[in-house]
Structure 1
């Protein structure tokens, strides 16, 4: 399994570090990895906790990633865009005769969760929807590169409800625009998947609607046992945003323990909703052959 995307998926994998193995399916760093959600992200839960068989995962996702930095600049030039992850990491290191690890196109899944930073990055652009359209076209191009390199099984994630994040609330009055851009991105991801199926009859595609799943949590956190502790959905405690020593820590100055907040910081959730995401994804993949 290869994982590409942004901080919602990143575990801090070092391309020069140990490769995944049966005993260490994430390779490096040690479980749960270096994440932005105060605990395991969906990647770690999915590979280690909810796998129906042994899954070995290479996670080249990069915090802050956009689809293509030439279209929507990331907040730092050191951030690897989806294009960078594909062209500078995956293709040189995991394709061709000198690849670091063998993989079978028939049994290897390529999971891509991208678009959050593209939506946020176009918020104040006067032609945000047009720029986002260009990013989605680049997304299709990158998927085409992966296909050419041998990828045949694709898992795409929708953009979650970032219009309900503290960052959206900070930009007062921008929630509706973020919501509109988010839906535009999700429509584009669906179109991308349909186009890929029409173009390549041997490609397997599944779209996981994480947006719908998270909306259920906003409406009723006890929809899933992993999120039933959540009580605060409209803000975060700054004392928690760098992480805590335990998943249920309660720091003086915060109105509740960290695991009762949906949001850890301006844009990242806490680990509980990632746990629910991973479990529901594993159940959906077992039940559904494809969704496009």
Structure 2
């Protein structure tokens, strides 16, 4: 598989590389490997939350068309197992943003459909051998450059993000009840991003208002 480190909108490494770099720096084995199927602009499924291009790898495509054929059906080529692998999953931003495109759905119906597919795909990962999951919620986006520059109503984002982030741990809890040997870690990106933005100078950050 091709290694791409600096293909983000900020021209820096994807967040998973920061994680692996730190882990590898503290291990003499330097054996943390990353298989990243993420795609910018992706939603859980384009049937619910449209994406800007058919080339975007939605969560559905990542699991069914990329992960399973490449990592499960030919598992001998990539020797991972249930104990030594962590599956990082970060969805919700594009699902929330593209809500405007699907005005025929109530927010409750929209969220129910999104989470139904979200956790169906988690179950498919589980059935393929995944047992350790890192799930990330939606960060605080009201000051994000694309929200501000587009003149989007921040109240729209805050309302939908709050709803998504409130429901996510409830669905995780229900999933855990039926998948008792799974380890699920929920990372609170909302509070973390807000704290970093409010205290950006402590982290050597100079720009928080414009796109990098």
The structure with the largest helix share of the pair is 2
Partner residue, 1:46 = 19
Cα deviation 1:234-258 (Å, max 9, x = unaligned): 3x2xxxxxxxxxxxxxxxxxxxxxx
Is 1:229 equivalent to 2:212 in the alignment? Answer: no
Partner residue, 1:91 = 68
- Measured in 2, the distance between the counterparts of 1:33 and 1:173 equals 29
* 1:93–1:99 Cα contact (<8 Å) kept: no
**2:199 aligns with one of 199, 203, 220:** 220
Partner residue, 1:196 = 175
* 1:67–1:135 Cα contact (<8 Å) kept: yes
Is 1:133 equivalent to 2:112 in the alignment? Answer: yes
Uncovered stretches (5+) of structure 1, i.e. residues with no partner: 1-14, 18-27, 237-262, 265-292
Partner residue, 1:168 = 147
Is 1:34 equivalent to 2:2 in the alignment? Answer: no
Is 1:82 equivalent to 2:55 in the alignment? Answer: no
Uncovered stretches (5+) of structure 2, i.e. residues with no partner: none
Cα deviation 1:109-142 (Å, max 9, x = unaligned): 0001111111111135433623233112110111
- Greater shift, 184-193 or 100-109, is seen at 184-193
Is 1:114 equivalent to 2:78 in the alignment? Answer: no
TM-score for both structures, normalised by structure 2: 0.88
User: 1:45: how far off?
Assistant: 1.1
* 1:47–1:55 Cα contact (<8 Å) kept: yes
RMSD between aligned alpha carbons?
Answer: 1.9
In 2 relative to 1, CA 172–128 (structure 1 residues): closer, same or farther, beyond 3 Å?
farther
Partner residue, 1:180 = 159
User: 1:171: how far off?
Assistant: 4.3
- 2:135 counterpart SS class: strand
User: 1:187: how far off?
Assistant: 1.9
